[in-house]
Chains A and B, each alone.
Chain A
């Protein structure tokens, strides 16, 4: 089945220790997104790739970086995680920009920072 896959599902890291989260998709979608979601809050868009074009949200901290080496994979790097970065990280994809285009989410990675 075509899908969005995130690894790992749960990640525990120490304060300040770099961490990389992975997302892959078999949908062959052009757009990939990274969201941060904290408890009882809306998903917050960090950045997205439109094909190879990287689009950073203005309020995304520099601590967060992303890479998209090919159509299928996208990575989220947190260079120096703080306690405030503990959250669910959601990867999503969408095909294009059509009016009915929807975003499909992966299962998420729950990040814990000790």
Chain B
């Protein structure tokens, strides 16, 4: 079983709609969760992180965490063509551990 799983996609969403990206993880001791965006041929850039159950909003992005279900998601509201990229979910197993485990990413395409 992979430690961090994401639907590889591609996920196609019409412009202006909500894009929903999902991630599950296997380590119950995981504490911090990160979403990175990676454009083709570029390096990952941090969108947001979350470590408490519930929702965290930042502009058009909302991260949702459910530790009981070992599930973290990223919602992108009012999707724009510039949101077309691969989204990587990353998990840190416990506080004091500086390593991240990455999922393979979900490729998102926003259709104009």
Residues of A near any B CB (own CB < 8 A): 31, 40-43, 45, 48, 50, 88, 90, 94, 96-108, 110
Contact = CB atoms under 8 A, between A and B. Distances in A.
Contacts of B46: 102-104
5 contacts: A50-B98, A94-B98, A99-B32, A99-B95, A100-B32
Interface residues of B, number: 26
A48 B98 contact: yes
B99 A45 contact: yes
A interface majority secondary structure: loop
Interface of B: 4, 8, 31-32, 34, 36, 41-46, 49, 51, 88, 90, 95-100, 102-105
A102 B43 contact: no
Nearest to A42: B102
B44 A102 contact: no
B75 to A, nearest CB: 20
Contacts of B104: 40-42
B97 A97 contact: yes
Which of A100, A102, A104, A108 has the most chain B CB within a 10 Å cutoff? A102
Contacts of B88: 42-43
A48 B99 contact: yes
B44 A105 contact: yes
Given A40-B104, A100-B32, A107 B43 contact: yes
Given A42-B102, A106-B43, 18 more contacts: A31-B98, A40-B8, A42-B105, A43-B102, A45-B99, A88-B43, A96-B98, A97-B96, A97-B97, A99-B31, A100-B32, A102-B49, A104-B46, A105-B43, A105-B45, A108-B42, A108-B43, A110-B41
A46 to B, nearest CB: 12
